[in-house]
């Protein structure tokens, strides 16, 4: 009889191990018909029930095995796995500990105990369990991989990466390990490596959902949103009920500025998993960019009630408060974020903008250096040491533009200070800005951003110079003009304009439509239409771009065109030099007029960019500039009415004095 039972059990086990559970199950039952007290058969039937998700039957069967042979550690481990599958990790850990009491080196119990502890947030204790498993079995790839997961959860990403690499060395055929390697590289900011590991996992197992998810994130971080969206949607096709995949798709859509679609994706994630923090934060961002600011704030605040240590949510709540013009509250949010995560780069960067807006320039520009941690790519100039402000002694220094044309114009003012430290100053900037940058005192050479880098010893970003020089509100280098335009270009514009006795004013009503904040800083041309009713003023369009003529035509042609097509920055500068007044929204021409020392009025949204500070009508950056702020969010009509009144007064003064020179 025993021989027959053993033969049946071996045959059933062979079927089971080959995945043919439907053939194994009746054989296990046959064993129990002959030997009802066969603990191994009860245990193996329990494993089949667990595979099928029948936890009640699985538990009943393994408990039978334990009653018959309570000293077998594998039985207690299986009971722990059943409890884990039911979402009862604390009870499961008791089972694993009992297995380890019986056999301290039992690998499955050690690994599963680590998993149970990790699911309860006890990452350090989990690491101990995995390490014990590795000591008992140094080639246990699963223990190395799971140890990597626990270390990653603790923020020990370099150590996690080392564990994953060892797991991959032991089991290169396991795509899950490649997935973990991709995730570790993502958290270290190694997006290219993350993409490579995700693709390796997918080559091993096409359609692997987590591989596609990691690939999507890696591509998104490399500013490849179309490819990222394709990977995100493929992942969703494989697991449509996975909340995190809907949230990931929301992130992809956010980067593509498809905010309404992002909102839908995030709400789907939250329907599947109510309260899911990452999806809630993404939803808040989608609402924020639809200007539904208070709704966005409520989403972020809701996350923080249940997860107060979530630095990203604190930071996003801060950016909402900034958009609402509540900068002091925003600063508190960024401080809260950094109290929870002192190295959270986005929080540092946002706090720098808050400090700069508040006029705390020395602190703000020092904190502004955190922007480099936010960028996905480092400037090519970083091949040489960063200049610290020390005497240059004739060394060649490369100063480079890193952001928009307006930033280049604004911070080129620091070149004379750098040259005064004894340096041969080479400026790398946008091709469009090069002619005017060449006119700045102290510039020895100008190269475009597309040109090969010249020889140089040290480097600095133009926007890092205020921090290097310790700039405060009282020490801003504000002597204007610090840029000049070729006299021949100015003479050409004057000839086209001809003689005139009326006030000549130029208008810029829109910025770069690709700018993240353009919807708030640009003004519909119709809003400025009342300006045409002011007597004694000739209006000129300083709006560059293909759409400008059509907009002027639609508005009734009350402005004259003065710019050639195509228009270069120096053409714009020449036109400004022939006008009495420039009125511009917050975009490059406002900076250019200020750098040229022209009278310029800058029209600002309710929550302006940091450089315009708070609650003042002048700018310490540009002595010839006046600021016109929205009296309430979105109120461009109020700005236009005030500008109309001021222009009318200016026109009256001009007609009385009989001169075209105005402050």
Last residue of a domain, one of 42, 67, 92: 67
pLDDT tens for 403-415 read 999 999 999 999 9
Is there a single domain that holds both residue 435 and residue 491? no
Is the same domain home to 529 and 575?
yes
Does residue 494 sit in the same domain as residue 642? yes
Among residues 172, 200, 216, the one where a domain terminates is: 172
* Reported pTM: 0.80
If asked whether residues 500 and 636 sit together in one domain, one would say yes
* Mean of pLDDT values over 30-49: 80
Tens of pLDDT along 117-150?
988 889 999 999 999 999 999 999 999 999 998 9
Which CATH number do you get for residue 97? Answer: 1.25.40.10
Higher pLDDT, 549 or 490: 490
Residue 33 reports pLDDT greater than 60: yes
Check whether 21 has a pLDDT greater than 80.
no
Mean pLDDT to the nearest integer, 496-522:
84
Residues 7 and 20 placed together within one structural domain of the fold: yes
Question: Residue 28: its pLDDT value, please?
Answer: 72
Facing residues of 629 across strands? 604
Instruction: Report, in this order, helix, strand and coil percent for the chain, each rounded to 5.
Output: 60, 10, 30
Asked if residue 187 is part of any domain, the answer here is: no
My answer on whether 399 and 515 are in the same domain is no
In this structure, are 531 and 653 located in the same domain? Answer: yes
Is residue 642, in this structure, part of any structural domain at all?
A: yes
Q: Are residues 462 and 528 in the same domain?
A: no
Query: Are 202 and 215 contacting, i.e. CB atoms less than 8 angstroms apart?
Result: yes
Alpha-carbon distance of 541 to 502, in angstroms, equals 16
Q: Are 160 and 128 in contact (CB under 8 A)?
A: no
Read off the pLDDT band of 605 (50, 70, 90): very high
The tally of domains found in the chain comes to 4
364 within a domain of the structure (yes/no): no
Domain containing residue 463: CATH number: 3.40.50
Mean predicted confidence (pLDDT) in 568-581: 96
Q: DSSP class of residue 612?
A: G
Q: How far apart are CA 410 and CA 436, in angstroms?
A: 12
Residue 419: alpha-carbon gap to chain centroid: 35
Q: Which parts of 174-276 fold into alpha helices (H)?
A: 175-187, 191-204, 209-221, 225-238, 243-255, 259-272
Q: Can you tell me the mean pLDDT for 160-167?
A: 91
Question: Does residue 549 fall inside a structural domain?
Answer: yes
433 contacts: CB under 8 Å, gap ≥ 6: 401, 405, 408, 409, 569
Mean pLDDT lowest among 68-77, 216-225, 310-319: 68-77
Is the domain of 549 the same as that of 586? Answer: yes
Calculate the average pLDDT of the chain.
91
pLDDT above 90 for 304: yes
Cα atoms in the 13 Å half-sphere on the side-chain side of 66: 19
Is 646 part of any domain? yes
Residues 587 and 541 in one domain: yes
The answer to the question of residue 279 being in a domain is no
Alpha-carbon separation of residue 347 from 193, 316, 336, 466, 656 (angstroms): 26, 9, 9, 21, 54
Asked whether residue 139 falls in the same domain as residue 88, the answer is yes
pLDDT score at 540 = 94
Mean pLDDT of 86-105: 90
61 and 28 within one domain: yes
Q: What is the CATH number of the domain that holds 549?
A: 3.40.50.2000
Share of the chain above pLDDT 90, in %: 68
* Residue 12 domain boundaries: 1-67
Flag whether 239 is in a domain: no
Max avg pLDDT among 378-392, 508-522, 631-645: 631-645
Structure-token pair, residue 591: 């900076």
**How does pLDDT run across 647-661, given as a tens digit for each residue?**
999 988 877 765 444
Q: Please name which of 241, 243, 183, 188 lies closest in space to residue 217, comparing C-alpha atoms.
A: 183
- Looking at residue 662, its pLDDT comes to 43
Residues 6+ apart with CB under 8 A from 507: 528, 531, 539, 540, 541, 542, 543, 559, 583, 584
Most confident of 314-328, 517-531, 560-574: 314-328
Q: Give the tokens for residue 569.
A: 């920055």
Q: What is the mean pLDDT of residues 41-46?
A: 80
Q: Give per-residue pLDDT as tens, 606-631.
A: 999 999 999 999 999 999 999 999 99
pLDDT of residue 663: 43
In order of 103, 126, 156, 311, 488, the CA distances from 151 in angstroms are 26, 9, 5, 20, 66
Domain stops at, among 152, 172, 192 = 172
Q: Is residue 303 in a domain?
A: no
* pLDDT (average), residues 555-583: 91
Instruction: Tell me what the mean pLDDT of segment 3-17 comes to.
Output: 75
Of 4 and 310, the structure prediction assigns the larger pLDDT to 310
* Per-residue confidence (pLDDT) for residue 376, from 0 to 100: 62
Give me the pLDDT at residue 660, please: 45
What is the average pLDDT across 249-262? 95
Q: State the Cα–Cα distance between residues 174 and 210, nearest whole angstrom.
A: 13
């Amino acid at each position: 009889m025993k021989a027959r039972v053993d033969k049946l059990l071996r045959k059933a086990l062979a079927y089971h191990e080959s995945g043919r559970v439907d053939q194994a199950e009746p054989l296990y039952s046959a064993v129990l018909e002959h030997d009802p007290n066969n603990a191994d058969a009860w245990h193996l039937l329990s494993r089949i029930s667990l595979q099928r998700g029948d936890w009640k039957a699985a538990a009943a069967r393994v408990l039978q095995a334990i009653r018959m042979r309570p000293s077998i550690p594998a039985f207690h481990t299986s009971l722990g796995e059943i409890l884990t599958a039911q979402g009862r990790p604390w009870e499961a850990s008791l089972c694993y500990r009992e297995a380890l009491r019986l056999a301290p080196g039992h690998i499955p119990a050690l690994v599963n105990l680590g998993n149970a502890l990790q699911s309860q947030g006890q990452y350090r204790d989990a690491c101990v369990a995995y390490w014990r498993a590795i000591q008992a079995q140094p080639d246990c790839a699963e223990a190395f991989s799971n140890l990597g997961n626990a270390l990653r959860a603790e923020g020990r990403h370099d150590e996690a990466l080392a564990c994953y690499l060892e797991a991959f060395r032991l089991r290169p055929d396991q795509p899950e390990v490649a997935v973990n390697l991709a995730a570790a590289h993502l958290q270290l900011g190694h997006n290219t490596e993350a993409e490579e590991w995700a693709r390796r996992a997918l080559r091993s197992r096409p359609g692997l959902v987590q591989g596609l998810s990691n690939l999507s994130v890696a591509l998104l971080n490399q500013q490849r949103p179309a490819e990222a969206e394709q990977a995100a949607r493929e992942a969703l096709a494989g697991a449509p009920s996975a909340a995190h995949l809907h949230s990931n798709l929301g992130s992809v859509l956010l980067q593509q500025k498809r905010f309404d679609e992002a909102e839908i994706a995030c709400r789907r994630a939250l329907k599947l998993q109510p309260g899911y923090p990452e999806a809630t934060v993404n939803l808040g961002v989608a609402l924020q960019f639809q200007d539904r600011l208070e709704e966005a704030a409520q989403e972020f605040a809701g996350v923080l009630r249940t997860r107060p240590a979530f630095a990203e949510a604190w930071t996003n709540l801060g950016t909402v408060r900034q958009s609402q013009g509540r900068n002091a509250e925003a600063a508190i949010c960024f401080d809260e974020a950094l109290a929870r995560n002192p190295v959270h780069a986005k929080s540092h960067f946002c706090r720098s903008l808050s400090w700069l807006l508040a006029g705390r320039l020395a602190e703000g520009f020092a904190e502004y250096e955190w922007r480099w941690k936010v960028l996905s790519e480092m400037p090519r100039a970083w091949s040489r040491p960063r200049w610290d402000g020390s005497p240059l002694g004739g060394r060649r220094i490369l100063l480079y533009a890193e952001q928009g044309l307006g930033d280049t114009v604004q911070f080129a003012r620091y070149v004379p200070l750098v040259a005064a430290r004894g340096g041969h100053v080479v400026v790398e900037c946008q091709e469009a800005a090069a002619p005017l940058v060449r006119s700045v005192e102290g510039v020895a050479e100008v190269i475009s951003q597309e040109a090969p880098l010249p020889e140089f010893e040290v480097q600095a970003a133009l926007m890092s110079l205020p921090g290097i020089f310790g700039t405060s509100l009282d020490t801003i280098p504000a002597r204007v003009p610090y840029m000049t335009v070729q006299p021949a270009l100015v003479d050409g514009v004057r000839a086209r304009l001809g003689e005139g006795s009326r006030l000549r004013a130029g208008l810029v009503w829109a910025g770069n439509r690709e700018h993240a904040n353009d919807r708030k800083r640009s003004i519909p041309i119709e809003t400025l239409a009342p300006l045409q009713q002011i007597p004694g003023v000739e209006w000129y369009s300083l709006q560059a771009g293909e759409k400008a003529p059509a907009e002027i035509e639609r508005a009734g042609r009350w402005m004259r065109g003065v710019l050639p097509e195509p228009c270069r920055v120096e053409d714009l500068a020449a036109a400004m030099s022939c006008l009495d007044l420039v009125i511009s929204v917050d975009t490059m021409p406002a900076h250019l007029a200020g750098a040229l020392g022209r009278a310029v009025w800058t029209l600002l949204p309710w929550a302006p960019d940091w450089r315009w500070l708070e609650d003042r009508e002048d700018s310490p950056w540009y002595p010839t500039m006046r600021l016109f702020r929205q009296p309430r969010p979105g109120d461009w009509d109020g700005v236009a009415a005030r500008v109309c009144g001021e222009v009318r007064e200016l026109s009256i003064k001009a007609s009385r004095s009989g001169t075209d020179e105005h402050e």
